[in-house]
Amino acid sequence: MITMTRILIHRVRVLLLSGAAGVTLSCGGGDGDRTPTQPPPEQPATPAQPTAPVAVPGTLTVRLVTPNADDGAILLEITGAAPIADITAAVQGAVVHSRIVGNTTRVAVFGSLAGGALVKFSVPDVNAAPQFTGQVTEASDRASTLRTSVTGYQITITP
């Protein structure tokens, strides 16, 4: 016969085993349908992708600084990262001729020229204006006499 002592020992064992199983399950073990007690490890943050600036097509203006008051023709070179198009005179009555070779455009402007806006041209992105440079390579007076030097001539290109 089973004695009272054996029944008591059996109940104590069942109680201890049940408690041990409960502690084990509460520590993240188990059949997977329970919520873990510890948060999942943090995932590294995905770096934000930089957004490229949106190209803004438009017109840039070439401005001339001249040391002379009687310029009749200016030959200049414009270099940039993008092709230019629609080159027009910014001076009333002036005539413009141009030739594009690669990233460089040679522009000849004829007329009664003075300091200020000289020519305008279209570009795919006006935000790229700082990438365009220009220089005067030759100049003549209104009597078509070639200047001996282009020292003092400056070109700026702005939107």
Would you state the structure tokens that stand for residue 75, as one six-digit string? 């030959």
The distance between the two most distant Cα atoms of the chain, rounded to a whole number of Å, is 137
pLDDT tens string 23-54:
555 555 555 555 556 766 777 767 777 777 78
Q: Map out the domains of the chain with their CATH numbers.
A: 58-158 (2.60.40.680)
User: What gap in Å lies between CA 45 and CA 50, rounded to an integer?
Assistant: 15
- Helix, strand, coil share (%) of the chain residues, nearest 5: 20, 40, 45
- Which pLDDT belongs to residue 9? 58
Q: Quote the CA–CA distance of 4 and 94 in Å, as a whole number.
A: 121
Q: What is the pTM of this model?
A: 0.67
Cα separation, 70 vs 82, in Å, equals 33
Top-confidence residue, 21 or 105: 105
More confident residue, 15 or 128: 128
Q: Round the CA-based radius of gyration of the chain to a whole number and report it.
A: 41
What are the φ/ψ torsions at residue 26 (nearest 5 degrees)?
A: -75, -10
Q: Which of 144, 67, 62, 72 is nearest to 113 (CA)?
A: 72
Average pLDDT, the chain: 84
pLDDT-based confidence at residue 133 (cuts at 50, 70, 90): very high
The Cα–Cα gap between 36 and 30 comes to: 10
pLDDT at 42: 75
Residue 134 above 60 pLDDT? yes
Of the listed ranges 47-61, 86-100, 116-130, the least confidently predicted one is 47-61
Per-residue pLDDT, 6: 58
Residues 124 and 105: their CA atoms lie apart, in Å, by 15
Q: What is the pLDDT of residue 68?
A: 97
Q: How confident is the model over 61-67, as a mean pLDDT?
A: 98
pLDDT of residue 82: 84
Question: Does 79 have pLDDT greater than 70?
Answer: yes
Structure tokens at 80: 């940039």
